[in-house]
Amino acid sequence: MPKDFSMTENGTGSGDVRETPKFTGVRTHRDEKGRYSVRFATDWQWFTIDEPIGDPDGVRREGIGAAPNAADPSSALTMWVTPLETSVTVDDLADLREGVDQGLLSLEGSRILSTEDLVLDNLIKFVRVYTFREGDATRKRQQWLLYVDRWLMCLTWQGSSVEEYDYWYAMANHTFMTMELPPELWFATDRDLAGLNREPEIPHETVH
């Protein structure tokens, strides 16, 4: 992890001015099913996401995460994907927005700080920045929820506290700015092609 001589064991700092975190390298992660690519700092602690949603035998979240400080696992970037039952179109925008915001407001002590809804053909992206309570801690998140044809993609930066969120934000935001989708999924969300009854072929690698 970037050198920070004022860090305590729990990663919250000793009260002295902390050194600004810096990249020592960047690693590109390409989803093995070819649905996206993202870039993370090479010296962050990587972990795999593979967990069921509800029914253990049902759909799963699949993805990757990275934490800047192994002593503070609640501060982490995560990127996961889960399949949807049907293809999403722009006509679903209002219902999806309501579901997203209701979900966030159901978190304990949640406070939505900023919202942005972006639509490009049938691709829908919800951008949310919010805080919530987890035990005695106040967490802060920046989150992208992308509905891309038959997939829900969720990219999140969470700080274990507002201070940790801000401290690592510039490095975390690099992942948001460099996320890429493959051409096949862009074609799948093209409204002019939406009437074609076909499932997009997912490539093995994204194209840069």
- What is the mean predicted confidence (pLDDT) over 74-94? 96
> 26-51+58-181 maps to which CATH number?
3.40.1000.10
Tens digit of each residue's pLDDT (9 = 90 or more) over 157-191: 999 999 999 999 999 999 999 999 999 888 888 87
What pLDDT does 186 receive?
A: 87
Q: Which two tokens stand for residue 21?
A: 């975190």
Token representation of residue 167: 């401290």
Q: How confident is the model at residue 206 (pLDDT cuts 50, 70, 90)?
A: very low
Q: Would you state the pLDDT for residue 56?
A: 73
Q: For residue 192, what pLDDT is reported?
A: 73
Sheet of 123-134: strand order equals: 45-52, 60-67, 76-83, 151-159, 137-148, 123-134, 111-120
Cα maximum dimension of the chain: 60
d(CA 172, CA 67) in angstroms, rounded, equals 10
| Domain extent listing, the chain | 26-51+58-181
Residue 15 pLDDT grade (very low, low, confident, very high; cuts 50, 70, 90): low
pLDDT of 145 above 70: yes
Do 193 and 187 touch, CB atoms closer than 8 A?
yes
SS in 3 state form for 125-184?
EEEEEEEEEECCEEEEEEEEEEEECCEEEEEEEEECCHHHHHHHHHHHHHHHHHCECCHH
Number of H helices and E strands in the chain, helices first, is: 3, 9
Could you tell me if 116 and 122 are in contact, meaning their C-beta atoms sit under 8 angstroms apart?
Answer: no
pLDDT > 90? residue 12: no
What pLDDT, on a 0 to 100 scale, did the predictor assign at position 198? 46
What is the amino acid identity at position 32? E
Q: What is the CA radius of gyration of the chain?
A: 18
Burial class (CB within 10 angstroms; exposed 0-12, middle 13-18, buried 19+) of 60: middle
